[in-house]
């Protein structure tokens, strides 16, 4: 069934979607409307003259289109546009991760009530078909974990720090210059972008209706080039890892930097690529990998969703699995830890630290110190055996009050 498409947003992703649509020759998809603020400056000559350009949303929502594509981002006014389209019986395809993470359950219920599609493959993993893979490809398994690298900006920064020995600020500036990071990269660096994607994957793969605010998110801004030196000594590296799991009925979820062994698939993800691993009770681990950002990879996911609607020839949309909200969401329960300190050297530092760890029932595994640093700024690392996260948090809070720190302590979980 041929579909007329109304496109909301003509930024990087919107332009890529439009390009894919106008270059198609199979007749299944036709771009008929483009909506954008200040639309006059967005016009391009490669879009057919038959397309209506507008900065009035009603021109699209009431313009007789068969399907809406929303790539503007943000919660409002995008949520209202989704609701109006779905109420009118118009399917919606979106790349809006924050909206689906925050209001996806209500929007999916509205779509189901009206018997239309709400598809969002492009909201997670760019061109990686992970949503469809979880929903259809391994739906026969009982998934217990979803984890991976979900933010290409952070992965680019961390892998450049690792490979080139760059300080954090230099790696960020390079990412911004190359277009891998926004002028304001807060959502990426603080873990909010990856957290929204993780909540979507939890809904699709694990049947969990997680609020993004319930998931612990930690910044990568605290990572220094020193940390990669010590990570290498531990046969590991550092990545921003997103993970949600169901352990004996309890839900654990976290987004943030972690040490991962060099043998892990996560350690081999470089640049702006993404990798997602789904762990199941029967099929064990299934991995999805590819480019998780960029105009064209994301546009491929959008157009793939459009084609899924077109090829159903008006049939009823496939049902989404049921979800439930967990009673509580916690961080990792137990893990080994990496603790990096930068201190003004003085007698008794190790003794003070050992006393605090002992008081919290935490065993020291090793103490590492690279040569060549001054006593005024002396970095070193302590690795800790597996311990409760709550005990480690209390110990680090107490350690942070000691008077010899040059920079705040950095504590990272060490993943298997």
Paired tokens of 135: 């929903």
Nearest to 404 by CA among 351, 363, 338, 360: 351
Checking if the pLDDT of 314 tops 70, the result is no
Q: Count the neighbouring beta carbons within 10 Å of the beta carbon of residue 191.
A: 25
Q: Are 92 and 118 in contact (CB under 8 A)?
A: yes
The secondary structure element, H or E, covering residue 279 is strand 273-280
Render pLDDT for 44-75 as a digit per residue (tens, 0 to 9): 999 999 999 999 999 999 999 999 999 999 99
Mean of per-residue pLDDT scores for the chain: 94
Alpha helices by DSSP H, listed for 261-348, are: 295-311
Q: Tell me the mean pLDDT in the region 115-130.
A: 94
pLDDT, position 126: 86
**pLDDT greater than 70 at residue 315:** no
Distance CA 193, CA 159 (A): 18
Q: Pick from 112, 134, 131, 115: which is nearest to 123 by CA? A: 131
What are 259's strand-pairing partners? 238, 414
> How far apart (Å, rounded) are the C-alpha atoms in residues 275 and 265?
8
| Segment 92-101 mean pLDDT | 97
For the chain, how far is it from start to end, CA to CA, in angstroms?
A: 48
Q: How confident is residue 184, by pLDDT bands cut at 50, 70 and 90?
A: very high
Cα separation, 182 vs 172, in Å, equals 10
Q: Which residues are marked as active site? A: 197
Reference 269, options 147, 186, 97, 166; nearest CA is 147
Q: Is the Cβ–Cβ distance between 338 and 411 less than 8 Å? A: yes
- Structure tokens belonging to residue 137: 């490809």
Instruction: Give the pLDDT confidence score for residue 313 in this predicted structure.
Output: 67
- Judge whether residue 248 has pLDDT over 90: no
pLDDT digits (tens, 9 = 90+) for 352-391: 999 999 999 999 999 999 998 999 999 999 999 999 999 9
C-alpha–C-alpha distance, residues 322 and 399, integer Å: 45
| Measured CA angle at 116 (ends 114, 122), to 5 deg | 135
DSSP state string for 131-149: HHIIIIITTTS-EEEEEEE
Quote the pLDDT of residue 327: 74
Tokens coding 279 = 């762990």
| Mean pLDDT, rounded, for 338-365 | 97
Tell me how long the chain is: 416
SS3 for 200-218 is HHHHHHHCECCCHHHCEEC
DSSP 345: -
CA angle (409 as vertex; 407, 415 as ends), nearest 5: 140
- pLDDT for the residue 372: 86
């Amino acid at each position: 069934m041929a579909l007329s498409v109304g496109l909301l947003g003509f930024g990087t992703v919107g332009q890529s979607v439009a390009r894919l649509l106008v270059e198609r020759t199979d007749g299944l998809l036709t771009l008929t409307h483009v909506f954008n603020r200040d639309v006059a400056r967005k016009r391009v000559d490669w879009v057919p003259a038959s397309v209506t350009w507008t900065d009035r949303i009603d021109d699209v929502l009431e313009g007789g289109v068969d399907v809406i594509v929303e790539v503007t981002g943000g919660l409002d006014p995008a949520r209202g546009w989704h609701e109006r389209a779905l109420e009118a019986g118009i399917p919606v395809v979106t790349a809006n991760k924050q909206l689906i993470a925050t209001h996806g359950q209500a929007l999916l219920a509205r779509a189901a009530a009206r018997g239309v599609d709400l598809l969002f493959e492009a909201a997670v993993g760019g061109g990686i078909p992970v949503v469809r893979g979880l929903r259809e490809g391994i739906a026969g398994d009982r998934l217990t974990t979803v984890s991976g690298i979900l933010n290409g900006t952070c992965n680019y920064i961390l892998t450049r720090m690792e490979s080139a020995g760059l300080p954090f600020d230099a790696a960020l500036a390079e990412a911004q210059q190359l277009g891998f990071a926004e002028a304001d990269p807060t959502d990426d660096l603080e873990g909010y972008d990856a957290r929204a994607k993780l909540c979507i994957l939890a809904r699709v793969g694990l049947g969990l209706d997680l609020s993004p605010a319930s998931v612990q998110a930690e910044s990568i801004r605290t990572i220094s080039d020193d940390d990669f030196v010590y990570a290498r000594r531990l046969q590991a590296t550092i990545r921003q890892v997103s993970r949600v799991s169901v352990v004996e009925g309890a839900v654990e979820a976290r987004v943030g930097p972690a040490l991962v062994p060099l043998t892990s698939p996560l350690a081999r993800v470089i640049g702006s690529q993404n990798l997602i691993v789904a762990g199941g009770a029967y099929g064990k681990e299934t991995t999805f990998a590819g480019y998780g950002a960029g105009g064209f990879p994301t546009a491929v996911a959008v157009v793939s969703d459009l084609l899924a609607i077109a090829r159903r020839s008006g049939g009823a949309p496939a049902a989404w699995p049921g979800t439930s909200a967990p009673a509580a969401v916690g961080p990792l329960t137990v893990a080994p830890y990496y603790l990096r300190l930068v201190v003004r050297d003085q007698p008794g530092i190790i003794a003070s630290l050992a006393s605090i760890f002992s008081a919290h029932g935490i065993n020291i595994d090793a103490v590492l110190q690279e040569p060549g640093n001054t006593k005024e700024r002396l970095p070193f690392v302590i690795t800790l055996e597996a311990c409760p996260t709550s005990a480690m948090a209390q110990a680090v809070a107490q350690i942070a009050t000691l008077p010899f720190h040059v920079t705040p302590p950095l504590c990272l979980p060490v993943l298997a």
